[in-house]
Amino acid sequence: MTTRQERIRELLRTEVSRIVQRDLKDPRLGFVTITDAEVSKDLRHAKVFVSVMGDEQQKEESIKVLQKAAGYIRTEFGRDARMKVIPEITFHLDLSVEHGARIFELLQQVKHDEQESTGHNSRNTEEQT
């Protein structure tokens, strides 16, 4: 990724987040966090990744709202970014936060199970002596 792509990616992530929080008032839009963005080499296309708290229906609804507002978000981004070419923006669900939370949950369960197992074995050893 070029330095320019990296700068645009970061600007896109922060500005789209600000626009969504400040301007979008659709009640169907759930608790949305902009997690990342990708920009094509020619800077004409951008993928914005979002994390949405809620069930599957809320996630789908939030993505639909964002896709519908993509033109407005693009216009606002263009006004703030002052670029010659403003990328077409598409929104994609980012499942990495949920995936990380699930891994953390599983690790906590393994730790808990090990502690129970170790505690159980030490009690058996004490009873035998």
Ordered per-residue pLDDT tens for the chain, 129 residues: 789 899 999 999 999 999 999 999 988 888 899 999 999 999 999 999 999 988 899 999 999 999 999 999 999 999 988 888 899 999 999 987 777 878 888 899 998 888 888 875 555 555 555
Interatomic CA distance for residues 90 and 46, integer angstroms: 6
| pTM greater than 0.95 (yes/no) | no
3-state secondary structure (DSSP) of residue 38 = strand
